[in-house]
C-alpha cells in the first residue's frame, strides 16, 4: 500500500529505506526469513504513521505560481511541487526516491516535468552547487 501511495506521501523513500534494505535483492517468491530488528519495527511504525497523517493534495490551478522545493540526504532525495494561491502554499504532489550508491543526480524536476515544462517556477533547494548552476550564463559565444 505504501508503494502505491508514495507519490502522495512526504519523504516516503526516507521513511521506508530501512525496510527496503531488508528485502533488497530478494525475489517476491523468496520464502527466506527476514531478520526483524527494533530499527525495522520503528521504520514500519513510521510508514504507518505517514499513511495516517498524509497531506491532502490541491487541484492544480494553471494560473498559479509554482515552486519546487527539493531536499536530499545521504539515502534519499525528495521534493514537493506546490502552487501559491492567496498567500498560501498548496501541495500538488510529492516525490521521493531512495538513492542508489552511484546516483547523485537530481530527479525531482524530471518527475514533475509535465507541470513545469513551458512555465516559470521557483526552485527552493538546500543543494549549494545547484544554486551556482542556475546562475551561470548558458549562452555559447
Reported as a single tens digit per residue, the pLDDT across 99-135 is: 877 665 556 667 788 888 888 888 777 766 666 656 6
The pLDDT score that the predictor gives to residue 63 is 93
The pLDDT score that the predictor gives to residue 60 is 93
CA 118 to chain centre: 22
As a whole number, the mean pLDDT across the chain is: 80
How far is residue 23's CA from residue 30's CA, in Å, rounded to a whole number?
10
How far is residue 141's CA from residue 101's CA, in Å, rounded to a whole number?
37
The pLDDT score that the predictor gives to residue 81 is 92
Q: Look up the pTM and report it.
A: 0.54
Site of grid cell 521504520: 43
- Cα distances from 135 to residues 31, 98, 116, 128, 131, in angstroms, run 52, 28, 19, 12, 7
Identify the segments of the chain with pLDDT beneath 70.
1, 4, 102-109, 127-141
Query: Can you list the domains of the chain with their CATH numbers?
Result: 2-55 (no CATH), 65-135 (3.10.20.370)
The pLDDT score that the predictor gives to residue 129 is 61
**For the chain, what percent of residues have pLDDT higher than 90?**
13
The pLDDT score that the predictor gives to residue 140 is 47
The pLDDT score that the predictor gives to residue 82 is 94
- Cα distances from 130 to residues 63, 104, 106, 109, in angstroms, run 27, 12, 9, 12
Amino acid at each position: 500500500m505504501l508503494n502505491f501511495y508514495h507519490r502522495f506521501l512526504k519523504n516516503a523513500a526516507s521513511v521506508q529505506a530501512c525496510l527496503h534494505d531488508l528485502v533488497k535483492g530478494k525475489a517476491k517468491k523468496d520464502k527466506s526469513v527476514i531478520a526483524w530488528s527494533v530499527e525495522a519495527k520503528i521504520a514500519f511504525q513510521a510508514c504507518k504513521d505517514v499513511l495516517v497523517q498524509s497531506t491532502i493534495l490541491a487541484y492544480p490551478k494553471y494560473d498559479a505560481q509554482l515552486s519546487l522545493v527539493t531536499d536530499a540526504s545521504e539515502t534519499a532525495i525528495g521534493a514537493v511541487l506546490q502552487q501559491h494561491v492567496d498567500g498560501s502554499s498548496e501541495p500538488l504532489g510529492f516525490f521521493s526516491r531512495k538513492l542508489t550508491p552511484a546516483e547523485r543526480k537530481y530527479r525531482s524536476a524530471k518527475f514533475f516535468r509535465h507541470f513545469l515544462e513551458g512555465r516559470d517556477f521557483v526552485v527552493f533547494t538546500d543543494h549549494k552547487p545547484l544554486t551556482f548552476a542556475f546562475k551561470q550564463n548558458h549562452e555559447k559565444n
